Structure 1
Amino acid sequence: MSSKNHIITSMFCLLFMSSSALANNNIDKNYESALIAFHNEELPTTIILLKNILQEQPEHMPSRVLMAQVLIEQGNGAAAIVELNRARAGNVDSDRLITLYGQAYLLQGKYDDALDASQLGTRSAKIESELQLIRGQAYIGKKQYSSADRAFSEALKLTPKNQFALLGRAQIALQEANVDQALGYIDLSLDSAKPFINGWVLKSKILHRLGDSSAALSAIEQALKIDNNHFSAHLTKAMLHIERQEYSQAEPHINLILEKIPNEPRAGYLKAILNASLPSDESATNESAEKKLTEVIATLAAVPPEVMKNTPDYYFLAGLTNFNFGNMKDAHRYLSAYLNYVKYDIDTVRMLATIEIQAGELNSARYLLSETNTAYPNNPDILTLLGLTYLQLEDSSKALFYFEKVVDSYPNSPIGVSNLARSKMQSGDYQSAIEVLSAIKDNKINGVQIKLLLIDSYQNTQKYDAAIAIAQELISEFPNDSFFQQRLGVLYGLNEQLPQAKSAFEKSLALDENNIISIVHLARMDNIAGNYDIALAFLQNKLIQFEQNTLLMTEIADSYLLKKDLETALNWIQKSYAQDPNDFYVVAKLSRILAKQNKTNEAIEVLGEFIDNNPKEPQALVTLAALFQQQNKHQQAVLVLRDYVEKSQYKAKALITLAKAQLQNKDNVGAIQSYKKSLVEDSNYLPAYLGLVNLTIKNKDEQFTLNLINSIEQLTQSKSLAAVLKGDLYLALADSDKAINFYKQALKYSDQRQAMLGLYRSYKQKNQLNKAIPELKKWLKKYPNDMLAAISLADSYKGNKQLQKSADYYQILLTQYGPLPILLNNAASVEFNLGNTDKAKKYAEQAYSYLPDNLAILDTLAWIKSRMGEHEQAIALFRLGLTKDFDNAEIKYHLAVTLYAQSRKTEAKNYLIEAVESTQTFPEKAAAIALLKTW
């Protein structure tokens, strides 16, 4: 490029960057103007400003959130939901959105949705209080008044004198005819500098209940003085006038509501009364009543055929015929009718139970089979079906009981023994399954099935040599069986005997060129070795032979995925999906590739369609939940995973998956319950213990945590792990001395990084980082590549006021590990404190360019800009940070200081109060408290 062209290009870039910065600056100014208008209750102005912002920059998430708030203020819940969904898709912090979702659903009368949206957790008192208020109003909507009152009471515990909660309790008292109690709550509510309009509305209703309509009218007039457009106040005033037969005075209030909301049902009802009461009005026909009457008549029209009644055997024959042809719904209807005439007929019960088990109606099948077993005990078909029912209900102990009874009667029955082994395998008792199967593995009748189950049991216990030995027995017995060679190849692969695995797959294919699984495994061995083109050539050659084979096409898609060729991978997986949309393996691959291409909604649609068509495939629910989590729709993920738990065969593990999703949804209480349920399912399940203990430590539940740690120690026989967990507990309890003692104990047992980092955090908690420095140095001599320990040492230098030493050490780490965002961010903070502001800003901007969604990095950059006088840019960043973590006390403190510098003192003070009153700790909290006193 010529120097002239280079200069022109550079000028163009500068002009582009300037115009971009100008546009962003304009958006930030408009947003601040919108906020000011909103706080001044100028809602139309706010909407105009926000629409301008969103037209220019649709992904400006603070504007989306504010737009939702405005719509809620205007009573437009449906439109607010649209904005909230967009904000959630933009990864706005769920704590910022959770109360807004609840309010929006309440406005629409969607009370179940409001309850689902407002799940309680361990957030700040302010948020939890607001959630309790939403739940209370939703319970009132559902007429569950005791639940509502409990919610309002809990809200008052969190925020005493809360007007909304007092109004809620008054509302419930009024509903229960406790008018004096209601009046007491309402008067407490109105004893405020700025009483809510709803307080006067409720007071009017209470006075009306007491029979004082004049005082009730006076109260509602006070409400209308606050807001002359308040529909509920107009509605109440209209009702009072109608009751007093002051129809002409009621009419303007009703007309005002119907003009704004033509289909408002209560106003419509009052209008009907008004019309009926006015002399000129005619009676309207009740079309809805006629419509309902017609529906009732239609529902009562059907009767069973008389011939079927008079000849019950026809019911059985019709049921049997439909059962044999797979018409299960009709079969169930006819067979159920037959049982009314011939109770506990074994053949009928067998067919009915089979239909119900297939349909997932397991409790119904269990009841029918249990009743039949009582009437006709020990029938092997009934016992087997009972065992299968309990197996699907995941009650392994009862399944074992019934299968053992079958085996007692028929000890050499391969079906009986196989079912017994399956029940033991489901409960995770593979060793017992091995013992049961080994006793009859040489049984001549269906011994192959027994040996295959043995292979599965050995494989699940990672006893690959034993599994290989059984597979080789099968091959000796059936040397020309391709499947057994393929099974042996898989076992060799798991045992990391790759040459033997390849040889087994090649033999399998030589015995049966149609063995697609062996073809796939051979291709995978090339892919594992990085020979993608060889694998692709092999698969595509086989696809010529096996045209439209879904497994081969899926494997080709996988190979392109490994080559990072997403477009071609998608093309191949779509071909496979077109062939078989009900194959979860194919559907999972398709959804994965779509998600990689940022087509998450398409992936969700594909999974949703699969789940609708295959309701008994629980793993699809896990995949769907993961996609919802990618979209920041954590509550939807939790709901999907609840369904997964219900359908899963391994509830202990499924409950852990649910607990982790609940934690992402910030529902710690729900997560604790799920971990506990997991332990009920399997009292030795270590992941459940570890997940639960981390939460009880966070909740500072000392005694329960110690009990859990003792159980973990017994289960793992690890004193080191137990000591680390005790250290974590006492660190959470701010008992630094005890924490240090336990971490040192753990380090005596073994070198545990968690103990070393815990020791550093304990010294930091005691403000004794000088003691952490030698410990960390000693550790880093032994483990020089432990970056977290190195960062802890640099932070210890900073905390010990050795700023230059900290800055120098961060330079060493940046050289050693490269410009990692965490290192740049921490270095920026140290350099700023040293007075190297330009260098600090450069590091902070570089870190932010790498990780713009990281709150700590965003806050560092914004705080540096704020202290350098770049207030507007800083405010925009802080606002963005609060959309991602609405309750972040440190960001609120920094924003408060910055707003104050802009002379926006009222808003600044509100944020500073929230930061100080938060239970969160942050390094500058003492400074924040001191600053508030001066304000």
Structure 2
Amino acid sequence: MKTTKILHAALFSLFLMSASVFANDNVDESYEKALIAFQNNAYPAAIIHLKNIIQQNPAHMPSRVLMAQILINQGNGAAAEVELNRAKEGKVDNDRLITLYGKAYILQGKYDEALDIAVLGQRNPQIESELLLIRGQAYIGKKQYQLADRVFISLLGLQPNNQFALLGRAQIALQESQVDDALNYIDLSLNNSQPFINGWILKSKILHRLGDRKGALLAIDEALLIDEKHLSARLTKAMLHLEVQEYQQALPHVDYILNEIPNEPRAGYLKAIINASLPREDGSSPTDDKSKLTEVIATLAAVPPEVMKTTPDYYFLAGLTNFQFGNLNDAHRYLTNYLNYVEFDIDTVRMIASIEIEQGQLDSARYLLQKTNLARPNNPDILTLLGVTYLQLGESEKAQFYFEKVVDSYPNSTVGVSNLARSKMQSGDYIAAIETLSAIKDNEVNGVQIKLLLIDAYQNTKNYPLAINITKSLLAEFPNDSFLQQRIGTLYGLNGQLTEAKSAFEKSVKLDPNNITSMVHLGRMDNIAGKSDKALAYLQNKLTLFPKNTLLMTEIADTYLFKNDIDNALTWLQKAYAQEPNNFYVISKLSRILVNQGKLEEAVDLLDVYIGSNPKDPEGLLTLSELYQQQNKHQQAILVLRDYVEKSRNKAQALIVLAKAQLLAKDSVAAEKSYTQAMIADDTYLPAYLGLVNLTIKNKNEDFSLSLIASIAELTQSSSLTDVLTGDLYLSLNDTKKSIDYYKKSLQNSDQKQAVLGLYRSYKQSNNIRKAIEPLKKWLVKYPDDMLVGIALADSYKGSTLLKKSSEYYGLLLEKYGPLPILLNNAASVEFALGNKVEAKAYAEQAYGYLPENVTIIDTLAWIKSRMGERDQAIALFRVALTKDYDNAEIKYHIAATLYALDRKTEAKKYLTEAVDSQQQYPEKPEAIALLTSW
């Protein structure tokens, strides 16, 4: 039987993998030692272990993350950021990194970056609390104390005894000279079994301000009792001694700091004072030391020169640069300063208004644009932005007024009106598009252009027969037009009429021997037919006639890709790029092949150069954002996509792309805003409604979801779709009785795969999964090749304790679809439950061999290893999984049970508590709760 062969192959791959597993044993053992050292605050020892690991295996991401944690605890934010960037490149889960990034930014004084990354979302309460804390600290750093206080109050609402929030409120009270309040907050924070050292340090500073030097020294001594190595505490004590000229007492503390961080500026300053004040051993004058002191004082006292004030153009350049890079807050500040010198500058107003619209400051944007329009009337950019502003304010009549004024300013612009018509057609409003085109006074714009635009629209909506009919009507008028023959050839190809397509392309080239596009299509058709050598000979022959044509060069590169000749493909793309470095078609292909070769940074650099040279082209931004997402750099991708939205003609579609990126970054609040803006931009754009309703369903917002579903019903006139969505809503609300009713209702009207899978999930959630078996089997009779429903049926057998049936069905799926990782992984769980541990492990190892980055597959393999006694290997795998999905409660339960078996009970209890406290549901949660209760 084929399943036996698969199992043998799995066992053989397990044998081959064993060498690499044993090779990793030293790394895993060293990591555990580093972790234990970290937990005991033995940072130098932990760093030694981690450096050894990273030298041996630079891709060991748990070590990168732990190194960043240690560096943050040591106050070295810059070095921590370097490690975090490497962890991000290694695709460590953003939930694991986001708070560490925030802390690293705070340490470096990068407060805007901290605010940008510490965006609240739908993460677990602990992460959200830490993000609130980071935001509060950043606001304090920016001296925005009221905002900081609001954040700390919110945090205390979640965690009334949060020491950090109490200390934050103390800092703010101190800034407002409310010293008694500050001391009260600090004393509340210190009323804890393990008070934070920062509370004592801050209390020392307040008592010092009150003139209670003795109390200040006692407080700082309490801090040093907690951690004698704490640099800030030592610095504070040194300053207290220096104030009363106790230089000898201050010196050990300063020397200790400089020994740890040689270039620490404040300690350097204090050292200079000490050196300048203490007599030298030889009795000579400390002149040199005084000169050094002078330099230190000059450096610390220096303020940035007033260059910007005397040369206002620098404000504009700084604003423009920040705007282009997406640093909107800095850009707004610089541009506002520039506007004080050059009032109503159009470019400046345009950027400021765009930023304010982006940030939702619509009244401010409207006021600025109205003032500018009065001073410099009828500028199309200003009028357009006014239209956009009113549109987002919901005042559609005023928005239309300004948009019409833009058209009135350029009534004969064929390009402008054609673009408007094209956007209307993309939304399906063909009548309005034709009316817009007919309104142009230029008689040269006639029915021919309308038909060409309609052909584009029908092609984009995959309505190829209608597009072909319109093209045929044009060919009846212009039978010798090479371009029309090319167009109908393309449409025939898309419609699967390959013989007609080839004939049309041949006619096109015969009518115009210079029609490169038709030549390329002919070569492409040979490639599709498996005749790559014929295609290559044809295209290279044409290149001798057009030796600098980049379209032919890129098609030759594609032909080499068909032949799997990567080196030659790259060579030809580089030749094309040398000819046309600003051709995005070439850029996109070249960046794609660089990515396939693992040269992500080169691809990013390539696109950066292109975007810099073509700032108005949005396509480069879209491709760049995709590359950032591949590198797990979600915030950079979002910044790029904000620019993409700004520059895109189809705002609704662009906003959907932005929303999906924000969801990848787990910023559901921003995603909801983007979906809403897409609906405002085009109130008939179905993907915007579907994206938003899926988000509101996930967030369990019943009223809003039902309202959106009603709107979708009006748009689609499809009761099946709306019934499915309503079923999804009630399933998310755990009302499985209603969800089952709606899914059944949907299936009565039409075959909806989402509905039959929804039934399966509903029965599973209501612990009645056996009832899912019949609907799934019925579906598979009609659609026997539906693998997802097949997997659901196998899982239903498992959930119904029909383990042998489940095992047999997974065997059939493996025979039919081959050793797909998802099938191997699921089969591994079933075989283990049946007691077939060797087979289970073999399946899990094979799945892991195919997808070693997949969290579910890692967890399955690790959990099997754990229960088979291979706990050290299991722990190493669990730690990797948690770097990729930090908030996964099921993995935390598994690692807790494994650690407990290794007698590491403190760490085990931490993970188990988090697994039980999580809102996530997973099959073993009752066992997790019982285990925690027993502990």
Q: TM-score, normalised by structure 2?
A: 0.84
Task: Summarize deviations over 1:766-785 as a string: whole Å, max 9, x none.
Answer: 21223223333333333333
Describe the SS at the equivalent of 1:734: coil
* CA distance 1:423–1:15, shift in 2 (3 Å): closer
Q: Which amino acid aligns with 2:583?
A: D
* CA distance 1:753–1:223, shift in 2 (3 Å): same
Alpha-carbon separation, structure 1, partners of 2:370 and 2:635: 39
What corresponds to 1:235 in structure 2?
A: 235
Preserved CA contact (<8 Å) 1:438 1:454: no
Alpha-carbon separation, structure 1, partners of 2:301 and 2:869: 72
Q: CA deviation at 1:502?
A: 3.4
What corresponds to 2:782 in structure 1?
A: 782
Q: Describe how 1:384-533 pairs up with structure 2 within 5 A.
A: 397=400, 401-402=404-405, 405=408, 421=421, 424=424, 429-437=429-437, 443=443, 452-453=452-453, 455-456=455-456, 481-494=481-494, 497-533=497-533
- Do residues 583 (structure 1) and 586 (structure 2) align? no
Q: CA deviation at 1:295?
A: 6.8
* CA distance 1:13–1:353, shift in 2 (3 Å): closer
Q: Which amino acid aligns with 1:797?
A: Y
Q: Describe how 1:737-756 pairs up with structure 2 within 5 A.
A: 737-756=737-756
Q: CA deviation at 1:825?
A: 2.4
* CA distance 1:398–1:626, shift in 2 (3 Å): farther
Q: Which amino acid aligns with 2:404?
A: F
Q: CA deviation at 1:356?
A: 11
Q: CA deviation at 1:553?
A: 0.3
Q: Which amino acid aligns with 2:63?
A: S
Preserved CA contact (<8 Å) 1:126 1:159: no
What corresponds to 1:831 in structure 2?
A: 831
What corresponds to 1:331 in structure 2?
A: none
Describe the SS at the equivalent of 1:168: helix
Q: Describe how 1:50-449 pairs up with structure 2 within 5 A.
A: 50-244=50-244, 246=246, 249-250=249-250, 252-254=252-254, 256-258=256-258, 260-267=260-267, 284=294, 296=307, 299=310, 397=400, 401-402=404-405, 405=408, 421=421, 424=424, 429-437=429-437, 443=443
Alpha-carbon separation, structure 1, partners of 2:237 and 2:626: 51
Alpha-carbon separation, structure 2, partners of 1:784 and 1:649: 43
Count, aligned residues: 872
* CA distance 1:499–1:792, shift in 2 (3 Å): closer
Q: Which amino acid aligns with 1:220?
A: I
Alpha-carbon separation, structure 1, partners of 2:818 and 2:423: 54
Describe the SS at the equivalent of 2:24: helix
Q: Which amino acid aligns with 1:838?
A: V
Alpha-carbon separation, structure 2, partners of 1:171 and 1:930: 43
Greater CA drift, 393-402 or 18-27: 393-402
Q: CA deviation at 1:425?
A: 5.3
What corresponds to 2:27 in structure 1?
A: 27
What corresponds to 2:334 in structure 1?
A: none
Greater CA drift, 576-585 or 135-144: 135-144
Alpha-carbon separation, structure 2, partners of 1:913 and 1:921: 14
* CA distance 1:800–1:66, shift in 2 (3 Å): same
Preserved CA contact (<8 Å) 1:829 1:840: yes
Preserved CA contact (<8 Å) 1:406 1:416: no
Q: CA deviation at 1:461?
A: 6.3
Preserved CA contact (<8 Å) 1:220 1:236: yes
Q: Describe how 1:676-687 pairs up with structure 2 within 5 A.
A: 676-687=676-687
What corresponds to 2:816 in structure 1?
A: 816
What corresponds to 1:803 in structure 2?
A: 803
* CA distance 1:424–1:388, shift in 2 (3 Å): farther
What corresponds to 1:314 in structure 2?
A: none
Task: Summarize deviations over 1:887-919 as a string: whole Å, max 9, x none.
Answer: 211111111111111111111111111111111
Alpha-carbon separation, structure 2, partners of 1:75 and 1:289: 20
Unaligned runs of 5+ in 1: 1-11, 303-339, 344-348
- Do residues 628 (structure 1) and 628 (structure 2) align? yes
Alpha-carbon separation, structure 2, partners of 1:655 and 1:846: 40
Percent identity, aligned pairs only? 64
Preserved CA contact (<8 Å) 1:390 1:399: yes
Alpha-carbon separation, structure 2, partners of 1:15 and 1:376: 77
Greater CA drift, 33-42 or 446-455: 446-455
What corresponds to 2:718 in structure 1?
A: 718
* CA distance 1:406–1:105, shift in 2 (3 Å): closer
* CA distance 1:763–1:850, shift in 2 (3 Å): same
Alpha-carbon separation, structure 2, partners of 1:719 and 1:676: 23
Task: Summarize deviations over 1:816-857 as a string: whole Å, max 9, x none.
Answer: 333333233223222222322223222222222222222222
* CA distance 1:299–1:883, shift in 2 (3 Å): same
Preserved CA contact (<8 Å) 1:679 1:685: yes
Alpha-carbon separation, structure 1, partners of 2:829 and 2:303: 71
Q: Which amino acid aligns with 1:751?
A: D
Describe the SS at the equivalent of 1:91: coil
Q: CA deviation at 1:413?
A: 8.7
Alpha-carbon separation, structure 2, partners of 1:911 and 1:371: 58
Q: TM-score, normalised by structure 1?
A: 0.84
What corresponds to 2:758 in structure 1?
A: 758
What corresponds to 1:904 in structure 2?
A: 904
Q: Which amino acid aligns with 1:825?
A: N
* CA distance 1:384–1:667, shift in 2 (3 Å): closer
Preserved CA contact (<8 Å) 1:136 1:147: yes
Q: Describe how 1:613-762 pairs up with structure 2 within 5 A.
A: 613-762=613-762
Preserved CA contact (<8 Å) 1:505 1:522: yes
Alpha-carbon separation, structure 1, partners of 2:681 and 2:13: 63
Preserved CA contact (<8 Å) 2:875 2:898: yes
Task: Summarize deviations over 1:557-615 as a string: whole Å, max 9, x none.
Answer: 11222333222111110110111111111100100011111111111111111111111
Q: CA deviation at 1:540?
A: 0.4
* CA distance 1:455–1:363, shift in 2 (3 Å): farther
- Computed over aligned residues only, the root mean square deviation of the Cα atoms, in angstroms, reads 4.0
Task: Summarize deviations over 1:431-483 as a string: whole Å, max 9, x none.
Answer: 32224436889935888666655654565566766766765676666665544
* CA distance 1:76–1:793, shift in 2 (3 Å): same
Alpha-carbon separation, structure 2, partners of 1:626 and 1:884: 19
With a CA cutoff of 8 Å and minimum separation of 6, indicate the structure with the bigger relative contact order.
2
Describe the SS at the equivalent of 2:852: coil
Preserved CA contact (<8 Å) 2:14 2:846: no
Q: Which amino acid aligns with 1:900?
A: Y
Alpha-carbon separation, structure 1, partners of 2:130 and 2:379: 54
Preserved CA contact (<8 Å) 2:353 2:385: no
Preserved CA contact (<8 Å) 1:121 1:666: yes
What corresponds to 2:592 in structure 1?
A: 592
Preserved CA contact (<8 Å) 2:427 2:685: no
Q: Which amino acid aligns with 2:615?
A: P
What corresponds to 2:894 in structure 1?
A: 894
* CA distance 1:914–1:511, shift in 2 (3 Å): same
Preserved CA contact (<8 Å) 1:383 1:402: no
Describe the SS at the equivalent of 1:192: coil
Q: Which amino acid aligns with 1:699?
A: N
Alpha-carbon separation, structure 1, partners of 2:617 and 2:390: 15
Alpha-carbon separation, structure 2, partners of 1:362 and 1:109: 24
